[in-house]
Structure 1
């Protein structure tokens, strides 16, 4: 595992990779600009037929690791809308802010902490023209019900975490868990970002994959180190090379007031190192704050020891959309094949939008029925694409760009021997497999 300071950014930027990924996303149906026929709406994106599959796979892979394969973590799906009391208790109403400055010369607005030069406007180049910084709250405020008065104020959640804290007692009682145990959630969050940027990396509407792990106070540091290691390895296990990742511990002046330790899993994006996930040792701040504001008990009584305590929380919080983007960038490859450039996404099979593509060699009536029979055998078990148009070589290239691990080709020989050609994406090697053996063949390789 890499543990690197914030100053160590020796690798250069690769803007050409960024442009290639954005182009691929539009051309192959991963991501489209939202409301594009109306000129678009800044910082919002729609996930196309291929992108929605990949994003779902990213979330499913996270859920599989964090919930399905464990006995100490349960799930929750909390509401997106919530009353001001929740955010007053959490501190978001008073402190969830960014420093905002305006350029007097061109009128553009920027986050002060993101400016490369605090005296020069990146839009017009004017110097010494910034206003004094003012704090800008990132919460999206709305009204619930027909009357838009202060009594109807509600907020779109800026994170999924608070629902897991406010439901702590209900989950504890109904799941019959005891610390250490976790509550996991995947869902939409909303932040009124001043400067959305870098495609889907920083947007105002995004998806998070968060888990709150509740532990006895004297075990918090042990579990913090455990989750730092566990979460770093998850990205490696799902296809991101370790050298493109690092675990960066926050300096003392970066830490939130309630955190005794926070580390970010960072990926080497085309613009440099940036955060995929934060792992924070949050202490008992969250449960204590909600207990104080609500008047409800949010503690745990250990019958074995007779001890009552407020659990401490370790929080691994990842961005699903930016994680998908990192998987795309890590998987993107170009190579020369017989004098032509082959573009291929070397995605882990659990992350790839399709696991298998079924391709009849031609659209002739004799090949389509057996091809559809093969599809019917595989479709209940794997996400499959089916394509019967264009030359087979062009269809292979399309599946390479989609990251599909295997192509199954039904040819005229299949009518004689009852077998098909299976092509592997990365090596382009081919096997001849009997149709009745296909399911076992893929189950062995796509588990």
Structure 2
């Protein structure tokens, strides 16, 4: 039996592991006999301590918010870089930059450049691989962005999907009241007088509910019958399509439907770079389970999702789970837990990366009542119909991308080509997330080296995203690749013309190996697993 599986064969409720070395464990939640896919959970070097089938309740943080930092000990978060540093890096290197900047830009709206689109796609690709490809109980789908009023009426979004808005009587700026209470008073439910962040006066009016959904019209005539809504989440498409997906995929509970795509929310106060924007990308999965097994499945997915972030390189001391209090639960939720990351910027701190909700059977029942269609599942063994309960891991691709950037950012002292110590900036991204896996660098731009360098580039680009870079000195090119997180640089020099070998430099250790060109692909395959 693996050391991190409890004697009862039940996955730990909240195992405490640190470090990057991994062991394999098999989680066994769910109905008897149900075997689930194997996951890789980071563990400490040495003794592994498991919490057993039931972990103690999380400690209580200030303000009555229950939270738990995942690690063998609770320690201070290790990220020290400021948000403005990440923003500057992203703009300088073409990772993320303002939309339509030549026209002054659009507030809190961002475009992803060549590196940014690769990074975000790699985050999404790893999510899909973990949540769909490596499982036999989850299938994917893609819904339309525009949806009819009936869907959002039945789901409760038109009535409940709102934030408390306050307006300053002096400058007429509008803000989210709960955010002001959090930043000025220390908690969303703390009473006290609020100050306008814009003009500094204490003339904020009473809060009003502001619906966050974008509305538009379909067709040439604007009328109530032509009204459609831009989806504020991807979840509802999986609920309304539950019968056809379940029938055509021949799945039975427990099983999931996964989806990635853009959602839109008319946020009152967007900000903090790409963390809170009105247009963003989600990675969501609805996992349909038999009522009565929902609590165990919920905990299973909490553990699995925490492991996903850690496996891709986020340090565990910078992650925690936070329980929603009863008065902050969504209208559909029995229990909700957030996976939070410690952003060191003063305006962010511990902030949500992903929400994991036990939605019970609220959505399926609501859509069945509104549509008149049967959204139950018939259990042939038991001979009965029931509405499955739903466990929802809902992650943000944009927020996850930002967290990976923060956690990978380093400034180190390293020797330059002359052996003198210099400061270098490096993104120590997990290679699976790095925009480019390999950079091919001819030592010189001379025509004698170009054919050999292009030959090497043609070899590696067939398998990985690569960059060919021949401008500036080799030392500057190394530093440039370090700054964008490229794991390996392949240098083609004049000796390569004679010995048919290249120099491969490791980003993290800066060590160099001489590798024959005909062995280069296999050499990199060994060092880029999962890429």
Q: What value does the CA root-mean-square deviation take over the aligned residues?
A: 1.5
Counting only pairs closer than 5 Å after superposition, residues 187-266 of structure 1 correspond to structure 2 as: 187-266=261-340
Task: List per-residue Cα deviations over 1:97-153 (Å, max 9, x = no partner).
Answer: 1111101112111011110334211222112x1111111000000000001111110
Secondary structure at the aligned position of 1:315 is classed as strand
Task: List per-residue Cα deviations over 1:65-102 (Å, max 9, x = no partner).
Answer: 00011110000010000000000000000110111110
Measured after TM superposition, the shift of residue 257 of structure 1 is: 3.1
- Residue in 1 that maps onto 2:189: none
Secondary structure at the aligned position of 1:438 is classed as helix
CA contact (8 A) 1:5 1:249 kept: no
Task: Name the CA distance, whole Å, in 2 between partners of 1:302 and 1:173.
Answer: 13
Counting only pairs closer than 5 Å after superposition, residues 42-441 of structure 1 correspond to structure 2 as: 42-115=107-180, 116-117=183-184, 118-127=193-202, 129-270=203-344, 271-338=348-415, 339-441=421-523
Secondary structure at the aligned position of 1:23 is classed as helix
Task: Name the CA distance, whole Å, in 2 between partners of 1:219 and 1:262.
Answer: 16
Runs of at least 4 residues off by over 3 Å = 1-6, 8-16
- Residue in 1 that maps onto 2:87: 22
With structure 2 as the length reference, what TM-score do the two structures score?
0.82
CA contact (8 A) 1:406 1:423 kept: yes
Measured after TM superposition, the shift of residue 6 of structure 1 is: 5.0
Task: Name the CA distance, whole Å, in 2 between partners of 1:158 and 1:31.
Answer: 23
6-15 or 102-111, larger mean C-alpha shift:
6-15
Measured after TM superposition, the shift of residue 13 of structure 1 is: 11
CA contact (8 A) 1:111 1:195 kept: yes
Secondary structure at the aligned position of 2:267 is classed as coil
Structure 1 unaligned regions, length at least 5: none
Structure 2 unaligned regions, length at least 5: 1-13, 17-57, 68-74, 185-192, 416-420
Task: Name the CA distance, whole Å, in 2 between partners of 1:192 and 1:13.
Answer: 33
Task: Name the CA distance, whole Å, in 1 between partners of 2:451 and 2:366.
Answer: 63
CA gap of 1:13–1:382, structure 2 versus 1, over 3 A, is: closer
Task: Name the CA distance, whole Å, in 2 between partners of 1:100 and 1:216.
Answer: 39
Task: Name the CA distance, whole Å, in 2 between partners of 1:274 and 1:347.
Answer: 21
CA contact (8 A) 1:12 1:272 kept: no
CA contact (8 A) 1:4 1:246 kept: no
